[in-house]
Structure 1
Amino acid sequence: MLQRMLSRWRFERLRALLLEGSLGFAFWLAACLLAACLADAAFSLPQAVRYGVFLGGAAAFLYGFYRFLLGPLARVEPFGLLRAAGRRHPSVREYLRPAWELLSSGTGPNVSAELAEEHIRRTERLLARLPSAPVFPLRAPRGSLKRLGAVAVFWGLGLPWLKDGASLHRVLSPWRDVRLEALLEVRPGNSRVPWGSPVDISASWRAARFEPPALWLRSEGAWQKADWDSEGAKPSYRVGALTSPLEYQLRHKDLRSEVYLLTPAPFAHLTQLAAKVQLPGRRPPLELKLEAGGEIAALRGSWVTLSGLPDRAVESASLWPSFMSVPIRMKPGPGGRWEAGFPLNENGSLKLDVLSAEGLRDPSPVPFPLKALDDRPPSVELLSPSFELEISPRERLPVTYDARDDYGLSAISLVYRAANNPETRVPLRRLQGDPLESLGDYLWDLSRLPPGALVEFRVEAFDNASPKPQAGASRKGVLRLVDFETAHAKTLSQWKLAQSALQSLSEREKDAARRLRAMGDAPPEAREALQREWEAAEARLMREWESSTQSLDQLAAAMREDAYANPGMSEAAQAAAAAMKALKAGDLSRARHSARTGDLPAAAKEHDKLAAKVQRTAEMLKEGAETQALQDLWAEAHRMDQAGSEISQALGKLSAGGKAPSEAEKRRLDEALSNLRRQMESLDKTIASMPKADPGSMRDKNRKVFVVPLNSARRTMDALSAALARGDYEAAAKIAKRLSEELAQVRAALSEAAKAQAGGGEDAFSKKMEGILEMWKDAAQGQARCLQMTQGIEERRMQNLRGLQEDLLKKLAALQAAVVRESAELGTPVPSDAMAWMQKTLKEFEKGQVEEAPKLLGLAAMRLRAQAAAILKPAPDAPPPSVEKLGALAVREDEIRSMLQEGVKAPQADEGDLSERMAGAAVQGQVRRKTESLEESLEALEREGAALPSEALGALSQAQPEQRAGEGKLNSADIPGARKHQERALELLEQGMKSLSEAMQQQQRIEQQCLSPFGKPRGTARPMSGGGRTGSDTSFVPLPRSEDYQPPREIREEIERSLRERRPEPFDEIIREYLKKMSQ
């Protein structure tokens, strides 16, 4: 009975414990799972964290299973059940445990079997009378139910965040991560969009989240993070213009979406557009090539057929003129081209609507402007000359024009009026094929126009209108025929006069020097006659000087007015004229003053120098005449080259045409050949008459030889005349081309010869002056180093002297401090003012600044003596002790004052000071020798003919005595004196170096200007209303030909086409900047 009851109670207990444990286990399981899911929903836990949560949850699950379900089984033991039953039924409480022990363990040694059996029977009787109600009723604990209810409420509140099940899935199976698309709505996903159109990328959480995901983009290269344009519940990002494939991906914590691709789908367009314009009443039709946005312009009433080739599969196409109410459907034609036509009756625009096979069409196609034109007269632009000009009748003026007409040109003419004569018309071109534009030029032979005449001209063009062509004219051009040759001949004549005058003046100067030496060597009785002769010779010399300077001034003025004068030689002539005036005012005046004061040797020496300088100026003019002659030859060769090119072009046209020339063409050819032959003969004579260098001279040795193939050109000229005489125009064209090439070689050879003559290469004066200037800089730097060394010696001496002075002041301060201390001990007898003076003196000594100390010491001594006398006066026989002390103090003040006034002696020079002075003197000697060598180089360069400033030579002459004096002062230990001489020497060297640098720059400018005519195409005209080379630049300028305008026109047309092309708006600024740079 007891065992049966115990089994029933065990079952009841296990049932109750399992119910309670299940409820507790369910509570904690639901609570932990809810917490993990809410944490993931709120913070999107990374996978590693979720792995940790899962593993921790698994461990907690096992622990909870043991804690709530397995653990209670261990508590179901018999004694616990018996105690619980005893508490439930108190009547059997005392019987149950002993009865169970007797049943399970038997009787012990002190218990009889009868007593045990009786106890068991009594216990069973009591158990039988117990009610049948269970000891452990099956009831759920109220606390567990409350906790489960709370968890259920929280699960209900969290359902809005957990309804998609993604967080539950992520927490319970972290190894099977969900894609971000399960949490997000991504638009537009993978998509094809129209090329160049904007695209909006957006993403929104399916459930509430705290922050937007990250957007990553990749077009080319690596991924890059992009910022959302707008944030919030639905962030978005706009791609301004999609022109290339773009990948994008969304990322949030460790979650990533798939990689989406946005692909630009280009619109279908018609390429290779062409318009066929059938003009009213005209055949054949005009063919026009079109670019995107290109204008379609034709006569009003024309029929325009537009065709193009699709760049991809096309569903349909149509064109829509703005003045029509419905579009015109285009049809495919041969070769895959789509075409349609329309009447052009008014101005407007035309749009092409092309639908691709993908169903895309350009929402804003580029419009083609339509212009219905009335037949207007041609427009003519005179491109060159672009200014009013002056030109020689010997030149050929290139007249460059650009004529245009809306429907075709037929002829172009040159119309001019010279002075008051009637207008003359010269046919320039008869155009075939009715071109819409004609860019060309005409070499206008001006030799038939009256010299000095003012000529007005224009270019006229005629269109192909019928029955009467319309005419259009360019702006008016103006030219004046100027006889530059006469002005140039005047310059050359004045050149010779100036050169002759300088040669004569040089001989006069040499004669003056001889006379002065003879007068200085003559006995006193003969000097009077020689003096009279000298006065007459001096008067003639002054007249020669006046004549030479005037002649040089006239040459410089003539060259300023001469358009053919070499610009470098023109500046050289002006510099020579200024130098001659400076010689007359300076060196000549000094020579005359020396002669008047009786210093005849010095006067003779000055006149020798003047003779040499004048002679060098004359040689400069002689060399410049060669440069000018070569420039004139080069100009003549250029005219020949131009004439040969014209003949070659004329014969080339005749040969290409295959027809014999007309009588007028023959006359023009014969005349051109005769003119060219005369030019060649004139050039040959000019070359033969060029000035020659003196045989054996340095210039003759350095002269270069250039071969001018003039004889070969003359033989080719004879062959050309023979071919023309026998009527073989094909052979004549080939010979004329060879003649043109040979004449170009003649011009090139003369150009090289002129450059060699004008430039001089490494032997140029400017190069030599540059080398001397480097030597000068070295000497000046050496002089600066000498000055620094002297200043260093002086500074060290001053430092030593300051040290001795500081020691003296310290000694005087100690003595003065003793006097002040004893005065203070003496007390009342010492006057207060004397005490104040002594204390002030002590302060100056202690500060090391002596200002009033000598004065104060004297006052203090006088005041102390006066005080002693005042004390002694009442009792002269028995003086008090203070009188003697006051006198002793006054004596000590006098001694201090004497020591202060004597000061310190200069320190004796030691071995270091001596070695530094010797080194400074040695360096100064080296610099002086460099200066002497520099003077010799400068004098040698002057003897060669270089125009050197007198200031430079004078500076060197004055610097050397200063350098010698400085060297001597260093040797005699006079450091301040050496420093003054060295400072003066450095100042002179720097002044002279500046003067030489300016002279070198002027020489470089002259040499560059001498070469300037040969470094560019020869100019044939100059702007009107000016002459010479002063003020604004009025020198000759080269005039452009038609081929010079072709590249700029092509670039302009390319830019216009590019500006009409359609492109995404963000590219506009970049492309505009590129086109701007390309057009510059």
Structure 2
Amino acid sequence: MTDNINILISDSKKRIGFFYIVKNFAKIFIVVFLSLFLNFFADIFSISSFTYRVLLWLTTAGFILFLAIKTFLRINRLKNADGQFAILLQKKNPALKDDLINAVQLKGDSGIETSQELAEKFVKQTSEKISPDLSKTVISFNSVKSVFIIFFVLFVNVALFYDSFQFNRYLLPFKRDIKILVVPGDIAITAGSNVNIYATIKTEKSTPFLFFKEKNSDWHKSKMKQISDDKYSGIIEKITDDTEYYVELLDSRSQRYKIKIVAPLTIADIQIEYFYPQNIGLQNKIVNESDIESPIGTTVKISARVNKKIKEAFLLTDTAEKIKMEIPDGEKDILTSLLVIQNQKEDWIEAESVDGDSYQPIKHKIGIIKNNPPTVEIISPAFDVMISENGILKIVYSAEDDFGIKEIEINYLTLKKKNLLKSFSKPETKIIDDYEISVSELGLKPGDIVQYQLVVADNNMLIGNSKIYTIEILSYEMEHKIIENALSDFNNELREILSRQLQSNTLLSKQDFENALKMQKNTKELTSAGIDNFQKILEKMKDDPLTTYQIYNEYKNLSETLSALEKQKMLDAINSISDKQYEQAKQKQEEITDELERLSGISENILKNQKMEDMLSTVREMSDTSANIEENLNNMKAMPNAEKMKELQKAMAQLSELTGKLAEKISQLPKETPDEFANDENVKKIDLAEMRLTADEMKWTLEVGNIDKAIELAQKLSRQISDMLNSVENAAQSVSGGKNAELEEKLNRSLSELNEIIESQKNIITDTQKTDAKRLEKILALQKELIEKLAELQKQAISELQNSKMLLEKSTATPVNIYNLYVSPEIKMNIVLREFITEKIDKSRQLLTEIINELDILHKNINIKKSAEHVLKSRATEQKILSELTNFSPEKTAIFNKEDFEGHKKLSETQKLNRQKTGELKQKLSKLADRTASIPSDAVGNISSSEKSMESGAGELSNSNIPSSLDFEKKALDDLLNGKDAMEKASSQMKQMPGAGGTMGTSGQIRMRGNGAGGHTGFRTGFVKIPSKDDYKPPKEFREEIIKSLRQKYPQKYETIIKDYFKRLIE
């Protein structure tokens, strides 16, 4: 049975040895796995090196050797460890107690002093008790579980990262198997170039680094980028010196490569020589530019300088042309080639040097200059024009062509006629010039309309046209006559409007409201129609060179005033008549009548001034014509010419015609011009007969060919006309200019007076405001006392209501819902009390009214007499509070003292004095307004309204009614300021009038004055005597001159009109 003990000990040794070997093998693999991961992570973080891998390998090998030796020694010790195993088994099996260890000792040690039989018996007994299966308890898996878990985890991770591990590199560190293929290796480049470095790694998956350095500089490190599975790239930028480089992967590196800087093949100093086609007209030229810009058909010679000896070179274009470039004789570094420009867009040079260097071509642009048609533009006047039949229109034009203008013509489309303006022997690409169109040379008459345009041509027979404009031939005198007739009709319309207004006034005075209303409406309609028609006249006047600014402006102001009268006062009159408000309607009609009478008188005076200006314009035109005749005579003396004689005869005929016009206007002087002008002594002394005799004598002298005598007579005629012109101008200036100066002076004085009145009124308002501030302060003090009193009453009212409520609460017969009627008045009464206490009365009046009504309802619903009496007392108190609050109006004696009343009287007197000044100013303005439309009726109306407000304000001040007086004072000031604005506008217009006499033609179409036919506008200063109206009498010679004029020949179109005029003069 001893075999059981031996078997048990033997099995235990085997089991422990096996587990120990397995455990240590697991540890060995753990160390190996850890070594793999340490190498792997070192590669990832780029900290791996040959030394690192060797040290790690040695460390790993040391651990493995240590574990192997330790395992061997441990297993060897197991052979003589029976006692130890017995102890171990006894610990694992406590039931054995010490029997097993004693049996093992007795069995193995015969030297124990124990009976052999007893020993054997004890061993035998122990063996029988022991089972060999106890060896399984000697060691358990738990003792090696942690080692196997670590082993399993590492094993799984190694399996997962198997493809990422480089086992040869990790396990065989002394073997270098990394292969790095580097491109481009050794190369030569030009300075400043960039070089791309490519590395192919076939055995490793880590990222390589690029190391490089220029000559005499430090190494630089750059991480390469992966561009495919095993290929990486890096770049060395802007290399300016010889450079070395290599690629390093982990602890391996490639060989060093060199980048050498060499001079590149360059092409510079490109020169372009242009040979233009002959029909273009451009001069050949040479430019130092690389881009080409020329018209089609141009031959260009391209020259370029190179820095190396050339093997071959070509000029290429985007149209697939490839032209070989040549080196001219005697040149070593110059390439040339010819190119005909067609439709190419780019060109470039490709060249190769004898050392194999190629030129990196740069593309140059080829711009085709299109041969566009030439352009021509009329700069001024760039619109349709109207001109007299003898006028000259000066046009300013510009023309432009890409390569050169050949000629410019003017084409009269209506006449189907062309005239050459300018031609060029040498090409001009751009010009600005002018040209005069003589209307008389075109044979045009008033009423004709001619279209014209400019035509420009270049050397390629391409043409360009300007915009088409028209020239309308006018007779300013005839148009001016039409305007004057229309103005005369307008005066008649004004008189008709005034007549109908007077009829409406008469009907209203009879209380005939219906017919008065019809007539007032009729008057308004007639006025509206008259204004519309007059606006058309004003538009014509703007284009009339014979209308002065002063006259136009007067009529414009008259139109605006009449329009305001029709839209405001006439409409107010209609409304008042419709409402049968007699006094108000009567007042409006009187204002309308006064204004219509004023405007009618002003309109007639303006027309008389216009007639005076017409006469002045005719005399000025005669002066110009006379000067023209004298100039032509002098020219004929120097060089006789049939054409000049024709012009002279034409000018003399024109002078005769103007004399006839002047005679007609002189005959109408007393009737159609201002009295001051018609009665001027110098005007009355105008002797047309003497001028006619001088003109006839000059005509006869010319017929016999005596030029010197004719010149002498022309000079005499010029002096006569000049004297007449001075007389007429001085008389006109005295009437019109002096009148304007007088009006302006009076208006400016009135403005000064108005400013004084305004300042005085401002002072009055300031003093009144101070008085009003004292009044308000006193009223606030009185109001505060009242509120304190009302607060006490309100407390009493609340107390009475509370008493009523308390009596109800003591009664057992009181309905419950009666208390609801107390809620609302109690709340509102407390709100009123709070407002009284805070002296902020916002809702008290409204709340008190509501409280009184609610207390009435409450009183009706209370059946207890004493409680109802308290409600009535509360209501009576609330009613008293409301009454005092509503009727609060302190007596003046409570507000003002004696000194205050005296101050009010004094301030009232000041206001009356200012009113008196305002009334005097109103009278002055009324007289001025009757003489000019520049002063609008609103100005006088504002001053008049201000006067009335001042009067009312003074009355209120005398009665110490400060608030109302302040309102009247402020209204008076507003009216004064409005009147001032109107007067300043009128003054500004008057300042423009003395110097205003220019052409009115500034809207839509210009009016250009032709030589000898367009008249003048404006004034010339001088001194004349002002005759009386009775001093005027046409001289006998004048009447004889008219009779002779009837026998003269005149242009057929004017003959009937002129003879009719003359007949009316002598009838």
Same fold (TM over 0.5): no
| TM-score after normalising by structure 1 | 0.43
- Highest RCO, 1 vs 2 (Cα 8 Å, sep ≥ 6): 2
